[in-house]
Amino acid sequence: MAYLHPQPKSKFTRFSGEKLAERIRHESGLWIGRLFKGPFYEFMADRKPSRFYLNQGRPEASLLMYEGTLEDYAVTVVESYNVFLITLAATNGMPAPGISAREIATVLTNWFNVKYQSADEAARDFSLPAVLSSAQVFTNKKFPEVGRIRNWRDYIVGFGSSQGLCLMLFKADAPSASRSFLYDYNWLNKWLYKADGYTLLDPPKNEQLNNPAGVGKPVKAR
């Protein structure tokens, strides 16, 4: 979770006139197109973030949150500079005693641009348990270090939670792997403006050494 620093929903602020720069929306849109497909792509493609979390100078990631309902799930997506954390909560609560391997594999193959041709293939590669319980983790990673990712499809992490099924998808592909994990906790601080579109809401108070994004210029956001 080092690239995400999850926060409780109570710490997020609901958008109420703040302006997100086109740069952020464009870059997020590129990753949405790479990672998601079918109903989940349609869910995310034109959806604006509903909430944000700014780090206020703390050494943790600033975050965007997207919310909505898709089929039988309440969906929450939290985005950092490097990661999407997706939570799928069954609208009638997490099925007891847990989520079946078939349900997880079907979600993976129908909604995400994974490398598997079938749900059975996905279930085998993730070594999915027959039933996923809360706090149980599954992954298809073949190496321990997240910094070695060359393609997001090869390092997907999932787990059960009190809310339901959670999936972590990293923003990494072969052409950009060498720079994808240069963390930037302040990515959002540089490009989220007050309602005037010029004044940064929480200007970066510290810059990490591994910081490729650069401070946002006061260009009017739309």
Task: Report pLDDT digits (tens) over 68-86.
Answer: 999 989 999 999 999 999 9
Count of structural domains, the chain? 1
Does some domain include residue 174? yes
Does some domain include residue 3? no
Does some domain include residue 61? yes
Does some domain include residue 26? yes
In 171-212, which ranges are E strands? 192-193
The mean pLDDT of 80-97, rounded to a whole number, is 82
Specify the pLDDT at position 214: 43
C-alpha pair distances (Å), 60 with each of 16, 206, 211: 23, 11, 13
Q: Greater confidence, 102 or 208?
A: 102
Does some domain include residue 105? yes
pLDDT band at 134 (very low <50, low <70, confident <90, very high): confident
For 51-55, 56-60, 123-127, which range has the lowest pLDDT when averaged over its residues?
Answer: 56-60
- Domain residues for the domain of 22 are 9-193
Does some domain include residue 183? yes
pTM equals 0.88
Q: Is 160 left (phi over 0), alpha (psi -120 to 50) or beta?
A: beta
Specify the pLDDT at position 146: 64
> Could you tell me the two tokens for 76?
């929450």
Does some domain include residue 199? no
Give me the residue label for tokens 């027959």: 130
DSSP assignment letter at 134:
B
Q: Greater confidence, 160 or 94?
A: 160
Q: How far apart are the first and last CA of the chain?
A: 32
Specify the pLDDT at position 216: 43
The one-letter amino acid at 40: F
Does some domain include residue 152? yes
Q: Greater confidence, 210 or 47?
A: 47
Phi, psi for 111 (deg, rounded to 5): -115, -15
